[in-house]
Amino acid sequence: MNRAEFLKIMSVGAGSFLFSSFNLDTENLKYDLKKVKIYDNYVRGVNFRKQDFFSAALKVNDPLQLQRDVENVYDSYAIKVLKNSQFLGYIAAYENIVMAMLMDQGVQLEASVCNIREVIDENKYLDKVFSVQVFAKLLVPFNHIGSNDLRTKRADDAKDIYRSEKY
């Protein structure tokens, strides 16, 4: 599957994700709408919003809002991360394209605080102080649920079943 096909599939309908490259018996295939983690990484640009970050008093699992920043002159796919309308930072520019396209198509993404660094020095440059996890409700086949380790591991640590010789 090439990049264009992947982006097309990710943006279809209400964000349903169909595993078109799997050799599965489609007559017996059953689908389920699942809340799937599609992103987990540090929020960028927090250093430029120190006061907002400290006043937000973030806790793990706190809900966050994602907002497209289409007028951003540096990144046309920019996605702001907010808590109660308070701007905290951005999704990394090199990782935001697919999520931005999903949001532009009306797909509702849910976000929450995933991790917060335990010791933060207010006087130092704030980098990698908290991470956001993003979820989408995706249509996934029952046969595929649980057959990979992305549910328990970060993407860099999980086995890449989509590029294996099997598919």
pLDDT, tens digit, for every residue of 71-122? 999 999 999 999 998 999 999 988 899 999 999 999 999 999 988 877 676 7
| pLDDT per residue as tens digits for the range 132-152 | 999 998 877 765 555 566 666
Q: Show the domains of the chain with their CATH numbers.
A: 3-163 (3.30.70.2330)
| pLDDT per residue as tens digits for the range 18-72 | 444 445 455 556 777 888 899 999 888 887 777 777 777 888 899 999 999 999 9
Exposed / middle / buried, residue 139 (Cβ in 10 Å: 0-12, 13-18, 19+): middle
How far is Cα 72 from Cα 89, in angstroms, rounded to an integer? Answer: 13
pLDDT at 18: 44
13: confidence class by pLDDT, cuts 50, 70, 90: very low
161: confidence class by pLDDT, cuts 50, 70, 90: low
Q: What is the pTM of this model?
A: 0.65
DSSP 8-state symbol, 2? -
Return the C-alpha torsion angle 128, 133, 134, 135, nearest 10. Answer: 170
The C-alpha angle 78, 42, 1, rounded to 5 degrees, equals 65
How far is Cα 42 from Cα 101, in angstroms, rounded to an integer? Answer: 20
Which tokens go with 36?
A: 């799937």
